[in-house]
Chain A
């Protein structure tokens, strides 16, 4: 297995109004191999989202480096990193353009990372493929292909976001609690769809979740974060042996029960 992502000493310090340094990320060293699907657990303020934001370049880190496929991304802007890394947010509103149609959103995703020119957008040419893609999800998205994304239900919007994130095969897929805003049934369906797409496209993925069960059921590696550090890193074997009970006990010991 080859190394895909290497984080070295990744640190984010925010100075608050009282001039006190708050280390949201505290020297994170982490290596992700190609084909791994890591679930990320941790309480509020553990630094999970900040870790993702540092990888995508949405925030500037204080120290440390991000290397993806032997390319040092540390000084790359978010827009440039987006050609290699795609992301699904927790809020269904964040992943799609509400006034643009489903097909137009997908077309934007198809051009991920490419420089935009005055070439005609050729929506018609792609529409059949888009429709088929939407139909494969099985939640009626294909019937809304010409509707503005803002009119979709939360579940449809998140599955569209997921389609958009995986349309071009990204080197790394980051899922930031992407099922958390949905009702339990829709959330479960989206999680199954996610797992299916990751397996089909053999994607490397990191997924933040607050659902301990999802963290155990899905993926082949599990990490736990606390106070800006990775405090636990379980490989596939250790993860398989882990039960909900073990995980709960662990969290109680670590005083991380606020996760639940």
Chain B
């Protein structure tokens, strides 16, 4: 059970990393997530069922997610639609897109090849862990490499101080679109991986995932502060695994999984409030050090 939770943690960490690019770097929550995550699942599962090799299905899912991010980005920057609303519009529209892709609300991968089957030599769940590690290493490596290019620095600067970025000639609108495209590509990748692990794609599979993604992010941040970008991306993985273990623990306690989402929200709410609680109680050292004001 524990190894299965760890495996899930690795796959869901991909979602946390995707969210990090918008929520922390560009500093806005991107609600497209709840549409691009099931989009990735729908595209990957439909592709596999139609005979596409799993590895290729993943790439198709990423491309689909990028298109979703592009739609939100264009609405936001060119259409001047507030970013939350732009995300909601695309998320809502994607529900129909996902139905159109799958032609039904739920599609199973029963008796189909999955990405994890490339490593059949490994015992159950360990192959998922293995795939998760490979994906995370490649993903974190690629994102770090991007951050340390001129383009990546301009992207970070846009989120850090948009006025300054523009006054230095950085095309901030393009940077925001770029961020949304990459982020939603990564989120769709997460959707594709999780769907293959679950063995199905569901058109409603995106509901509440932004909470799960943010939870891994925030758990990592609450535990470790003042880190470099690379270390920060690794703490998202740790946060995600911890979150899945916590979930497992609660289920073992006999919590009805039907009502699991209130638990997810509560965890995230508590983690978001920890800096505030620490400050008012002056509990400097209880869980790491308090975040700076």
Chain A interface (Cβ < 8 Å from any Cβ of B): 56, 58, 78-80, 82-83, 86-87, 89, 93-100, 104, 107-109, 111-114, 116-121, 123, 164
User: Given the known A-B contacts A97-B156, A99-B160, A100-B156, are A116 and B150 also in contact in the complex, defined by CB atoms under 8 Å?
Assistant: yes
On whether the beta carbons of B154 and A116 are closer than 8 Å, the reply is yes
Interface check B166, CB cutoff 8 A: yes
Residues of A within 8 A of B153 (CB): 100, 104, 107-108, 116, 121
Q: How far is the CB of B226 from the nearest CB of chain A, in Å? A: 9
Bound CA–CA A99/B232 (angstroms)? 14
How many residues belonging to B are interface residues under a CB distance threshold of 8 Å? 22
Interface check B207, CB cutoff 8 A: no
Chain B interface (Cβ < 8 Å from any Cβ of A): 146, 148-154, 156-157, 160-161, 163-172
Given contacts A82-B166, A116-B154, A164-B168, 9 further A-B contacts (CB under 8 A): A79-B166, A94-B163, A97-B160, A108-B170, A114-B150, A118-B146, A119-B149, A120-B149, A121-B153
On whether the beta carbons of A118 and B151 are closer than 8 Å, the reply is yes
- Contact for B160 among A56, A100, A112, A164, CB less than 8 A: A100
Residues of A within 8 A of B165 (CB): 97, 108
On whether the beta carbons of B164 and A79 are closer than 8 Å, the reply is no
Residues of B within 8 A of A87 (CB): 167
Q: How many A-B residue pairs have CB under 8 A?
A: 84
Bound CA–CA A58/B166 (angstroms)? 9
On whether the beta carbons of B169 and A83 are closer than 8 Å, the reply is yes
B161, B165, B171 — which one has the most chain A CB atoms within 10 A of its CB?
Answer: B161
- Contact for A108 among B148, B149, B157, B163, CB less than 8 A: B157
- Contact for B168 among A89, A99, A109, A119, CB less than 8 A: A109
Closest residue of chain B to A93, judged by CB? B161
B149, B166, B168 — which one has the most chain A CB atoms within 10 A of its CB?
Answer: B168
24 contacts between A and B (CB under 8 A): A79-B166, A82-B168, A82-B169, A86-B168, A93-B161, A94-B164, A97-B156, A97-B157, A97-B164, A97-B165, A99-B160, A100-B160, A108-B157, A111-B168, A113-B168, A114-B150, A116-B151, A116-B154, A117-B149, A118-B146, A120-B149, A121-B152, A123-B148, A164-B168
Q: How far is the CB of A81 from the nearest CB of chain B, in Å? A: 8
Bound CA–CA A79/B168 (angstroms)? 7
Bound CA–CA A117/B155 (angstroms)? 11
Residues of A within 8 A of B156 (CB): 97, 99-100
- Contact for B167 among A82, A98, A107, CB less than 8 A: A82
On whether the beta carbons of B169 and A117 are closer than 8 Å, the reply is no
Closest residue of chain B to A91, judged by CB? B163
